[in-house]
Chain A
Amino acid sequence: MQALYAQLLVGLINGSFYALLSLGLAVIFGMLNIINFAHGALYMMGAFCAYFLLHLTGIGYWWALIIAPIVVGIFGMILERTMLQWLAGLDHLYGLLLTFGIALIVQGVFQNYFGSSGLPYAIPDYPEVGGFRGLQGGMNLGFMFLPIYRGWVVVFSLVVCLATWFLIEKTRLGANLRAATENPTLVRAFGINVPRMITLTYGLGVGLAALAGVLSAPINQVRPLMGADLIIVVFAVVVIGGMGSIMGSIITGFALGVIEGLTKYFYPEASNTVVFVLMVLVLLVKPTGLTGRAA
């Protein structure tokens, strides 16, 4: 049973990253109509940003959680202003090719300087609360041993996902965003600066990817290709969940992480392919994804 719980936890951790990344992809797709293939590279940049902050300036994990998404988000907004905005109204294929090219360039530059091996990033050991040193160590839950950092990643990711959902579905700003997704021309004719909103939305989606990168750094190390490996699964998650729905992408992200974890326990040989098998099944039965709207 210990092993089952351990795999479930691994599944939830992976699910956290799937959810944060597919949520960002859904937000970006809704507003910009672009399938953001640069997402994995931006996730990697988030992790590297945390690494640089620590090793060049001594700024630690907690500040990196805030600073890295902002820095990488600004980088994303520059990409949007200088390149992506010119693709508005063109076929999906152009956005896909451009963002894929950006991903290759960014990953290539990082590989050039850092090779392909992982750079370690320690779990933060501060602040000290009670008997715990930061997020290090673990606790015995009775039925399993829970490493604190892993529990933190799952809970924090869930909170960020739900906060993003709340922002988009329940606030005035989110209403502007949803309206602009439906009919940008009319929203602009009401006096709302839609181009600026699009830039900020891309920044938000990119920021979520960078945040996932920071969260992942202590678990998976910091590698130039960390995003390239992950993003393939994330796109399968997005296809299964459907691009249209915010909550759908969150739930699908976590659910597929868990399914993957369970497969690792019950039938390890299939654990790397189960997501893709599900993708094929969903595509056969409901091509728009489980929660998606027709394009």
Chain B
Amino acid sequence: MAEATAKPAGAEILSVSDLQAWYGESHILHGVNFNVKAGEVVTLLGRNGAGKTTTLKSVMGIIGKRTGSIRFNGQDITRASSDRIARLGIAFCPEERGIFASLDVRENLLLPPIVRSGGLSLDQIFELFPNLKERLNSQGTKLSGGEQQMLAIARILRTGARFLMLDEPTEGLAPVIIQQIGHTIARLKSEGFTILLVEQNFRFASTVADRYYIVEHGKVIDGFANSELSANMDKLHTYLGV
């Protein structure tokens, strides 16, 4: 599976077709179709409850029941367990950040195992997020919301995974922190990471994304490139109700 990093830019890394998913009895995704190409930042936009987070979780293998097809680097991962999906090189940063209270910052940072070579070193991570270095011995959940978000992103950069899924990384954060996260995403993109982003804040998304998909009622109903953004503004306002 070394081809993850060697894929030429533009090759399809993730393709999802007719993805359906259930939370217990409730049917959440009704046939989601989209793809992500190597080196892209792709954003899923949509209202609350549209199915964006469920889509990410389905790709990660942590939604109990899912059907359809999810292919990563040509491999079918629709029914794979989440630990196996992670070891194939997909890393997930959940909306609630998932910082562990019983671990200090260093332990949180070192928790995800290295799945392949080529991850960021601790020095590179501290260069991106200097705050974390000073707080290494603090309890994970004693950090501010912004620092927790940085920690949640930082810890998946160590693993060598080149495909990142970030679920609303800017939610509830101050503008200056949002800006820092924007810079980080731009920097990661320039270093060849592929990023699938879920955002409500489409003003933020427009600063980093190459392409957008609109999710509504558990389906992808539209998609366009960043260059077509201004032409699609009216539609977007209708979709998002902003």
Q: Which residue of the partner chain, among A175, A186, A190, A191, contacts B107 with CB atoms under 8 Å? A: A175
B26 on interface, CB distance cutoff 8 Å: no
A185 on interface, CB distance cutoff 8 Å: yes
A193 on interface, CB distance cutoff 8 Å: yes
C-alpha spacing A43/B142, complex, angstroms: 40
Q: Which residue of the partner chain, among B83, B94, B111, B115, contacts A175 with CB atoms under 8 Å? A: B111
Could you say which of A179, A181, A185, A189 has the most chain B C-beta atoms within 10 Å of its C-beta? A189
C-alpha spacing A194/B103, complex, angstroms: 17
Q: Please state if A186 and B83 are interface contacts (CB–CB under 8 Å).
A: no
Which of chain A's residues have a CB closer than 8 A to the CB of B92? 186, 189
> Nearest chain A CB to B9's CB is how many angstroms away?
26
Q: Please state if A178 and B103 are interface contacts (CB–CB under 8 Å).
A: yes
A92 on interface, CB distance cutoff 8 Å: no
Could you say which of A183, A185, A190 has the most chain B C-beta atoms within 10 Å of its C-beta? A190
Which of chain A's residues have a CB closer than 8 A to the CB of B86? 188-191
Binary flags per residue of B55-98, CB closer than 8 Å to A gives 1, else 0? 00000111000000000000000000111011100011010001
B49 on interface, CB distance cutoff 8 Å: no
C-alpha spacing A266/B156, complex, angstroms: 59
Which of chain A's residues have a CB closer than 8 A to the CB of B85? 189
B11 on interface, CB distance cutoff 8 Å: no
Knowing A178-B103, A179-B100, A182-B102, say if A191 contacts B60 (CB, 8 Å): no
B8 on interface, CB distance cutoff 8 Å: no
Interface residues on B, range: 20 to 34
B113 on interface, CB distance cutoff 8 Å: yes
Interface residues on A, range: 10 to 19
Q: Which residue of the partner chain, among A183, A192, A193, contacts B98 with CB atoms under 8 Å? A: A183
B173 on interface, CB distance cutoff 8 Å: no
B101 on interface, CB distance cutoff 8 Å: yes
**Which partner residue on chain B sits nearest A183 by CB separation?**
B98
B43 on interface, CB distance cutoff 8 Å: no
Which of chain B's residues have a CB closer than 8 A to the CB of A191? 83, 86-87, 112-113, 115, 159
> Nearest chain A CB to B78's CB is how many angstroms away?
16
Q: Please state if B100 and A189 are interface contacts (CB–CB under 8 Å).
A: no
Q: Please state if A186 and B102 are interface contacts (CB–CB under 8 Å).
A: no
Which of chain B's residues have a CB closer than 8 A to the CB of A136? none
Q: Please state if A178 and B113 are interface contacts (CB–CB under 8 Å).
A: no
Knowing A175-B107, A175-B110, A179-B111, say if A193 contacts B83 (CB, 8 Å): yes
C-alpha spacing A93/B124, complex, angstroms: 49
Q: Please state if A178 and B87 are interface contacts (CB–CB under 8 Å).
A: no
**Which partner residue on chain B sits nearest A190 by CB separation?**
B112
**Which partner residue on chain A sits nearest B86 by CB separation?**
A191
A291 on interface, CB distance cutoff 8 Å: no
A221 on interface, CB distance cutoff 8 Å: no
Q: Please state if B81 and A186 are interface contacts (CB–CB under 8 Å).
A: no
Could you say which of B86, B91, B100 has the most chain A C-beta atoms within 10 Å of its C-beta? B100
Q: Please state if A194 and B98 are interface contacts (CB–CB under 8 Å).
A: no
> Nearest chain B CB to A139's CB is how many angstroms away?
43
Which of chain A's residues have a CB closer than 8 A to the CB of B60? 189
> Nearest chain B CB to A23's CB is how many angstroms away?
17
Knowing A172-B110, A185-B62, say if A192 contacts B100 (CB, 8 Å): no
A176 on interface, CB distance cutoff 8 Å: yes
Shortest 6 CB-CB contacts between residues of A and residues of B: A191-B86, A190-B112, A175-B107, A178-B102, A189-B82, A186-B98
Q: List the interface of chain A (C-beta within 8 A of B).
A: 172, 175-176, 178-179, 181-183, 185-194
